[in-house]
Amino acid sequence: MERWFAGDWLCKGTQQMSPHGPEIPFTDKFVFRMVLDDSWLLFHVDQLEGPNKGKRNLMGSGTWDAGAHLHIRRDMNIGGSRMDMTAPGWDGDRLVFSGFMSNGDNRLAVEQVFTKKTANEYAAWLKMTDTAGATQASEQEVCHRISGAAPKTSGH
């Protein structure tokens, strides 16, 4: 799973209208790199257009936990929040992460779905819900690989 993402990606998307604000289009550059003998994927996101234009708004890491049989991931967001998520692996062309976003005493359930479109394109959507199940934030995007070659196998 992790090796498939390695490279640079240009992503265009929309943060959907939420209780916290209106719908906002954005363009991000994702940079994914395999490190430590290809055992960890490190990544960061720089926003090219949108509310955090010109800022790095996310850094994170992911790996395969062989004991738990799960991909584990932590995203650290601008503003101090973090997301801790897991995924069992690819189901065909879909990869579904679930977990929580935490910031202080606030904790929201998170689900993110990646769908491979081609070897060099994926679509993703992310949704955060409160304890009552109400959507607090969501976004969708389509990403195209702009450098780095897709590996021949996708791993776990």
In a domain, 78, yes or no: yes
Structural domains in the chain (count): 1
Residues 11 and 27: their CA atoms lie apart, in Å, by 6
CATH of the domain at 23: 2.40.128.20
Q: Output the pTM of the full model.
A: 0.89
Domain membership flag for residue 25: yes
Phi and psi at residue 2, in whole multiples of 5°? -60, -45
Tens-level pLDDT at each residue, the chain (156 residues): 688 999 999 999 998 877 667 889 999 999 999 999 999 999 999 999 998 899 999 999 999 999 999 999 999 999 899 999 999 999 999 999 999 999 888 899 999 999 999 999 999 999 999 888 888 888 999 999 999 877 765 445
| Residue 75: domain span | 2-147
Position 154 scores a pLDDT of 46
Alpha carbon distances (Å) from 38 to 64, 77, 150: 11, 24, 14
